[in-house]
Amino acid sequence: MTRYVVRAYPKRMWFVEQYIVPSMLAQGISESDIVVYNDDKGEGNLRSFLNVCYQAPDDDKGTWYLQDDVCICRDFKKLTELYDDGFVCGFSSERYDGKGRIGAVHVQDMWFSFPCIRIPNKVARECAEWVDKYIIGNWAYKEFWESGRNDDWAFRTFVFQRYDKCLATNLAPNLVDHVDYLLGGGSGGKRPVEVRAQYFYDQDLVKALEEKILKNFEKTY
């Protein structure tokens, strides 16, 4: 069994429920293996990430974490099951990761992959506890936690501290593309530039998604 968590907030739940989850089910992923976490209390990216980490099962398996603004590749189920071990980064943008560093890498070279990342359950739970103990409320890191964002930074900081000898897999082709530009930009508003996956090759699926959203929007209005 491969476990998936989709992290969302209320304004994006329509996209999660109408597009992301159905696309996962269409590939044969069981509904019972998908957890949707809706930040309906408005706690922010960082706290919602810690909350889902605390909920990770107490076992030696792992969980694939997806954000609420992605388009999955056509082999998503197959590849997430094939690479269901250790730290696996399923997304990379040239803006934040540059070129190269594909395959097995030291964790210091793992991608900024929060749109799609696999984290061992044991590590997720430890991360939540560590961030709450050493980061949240620590005035030395106030600029990172006070905004409620920087979940990827907090995770990487923990990993670099506690799992610095480990390897991660930077997976190309990427498993998802980042399509927040179809949804009005990031949760903080429209980005100055689009942050797209640099190794996502199923662009026909993104195009089809764009057309479907536009068609449904036209029906609504």
Please state whether 80 falls in left (phi above 0), alpha (psi between -120 and 50) or beta. Answer: alpha
Tokens of 156: 């990487």
| Residue 117, strand partner residues | 65, 89
Amino acid at 87: F
Output the domain CATH number for residue 209: 3.90.550
- Checking DSSP bridges between strand 3-8 and strand 62-67, what pairing results, if any? parallel
Range of the domain at 124: 3-220
Q: What is the pLDDT of residue 189?
A: 46
- Predicted confidence (pLDDT) per residue in 61-114, tens digit: 999 999 999 999 999 999 999 999 999 999 999 999 998 789 999 999 999 999
In this predicted structure, the answer to whether residue 215 has a pLDDT above a threshold of 90 is no
Q: What is the pLDDT of residue 140?
A: 77
Give how many domains the chain has, as a whole number.
1
- The Cα 107–Cα 170 span in angstroms is 10
Give me the sheet containing 3-8, strands edge to edge.
34-38, 3-8, 62-67, 116-120, 87-89, 167-170, 103-106
- Predicted confidence (pLDDT) per residue in 126-180, tens digit: 999 999 999 988 877 787 777 778 899 999 999 999 999 999 999 999 999 999 9
Split at pLDDT 50, 70, 90, the class of 186 is low
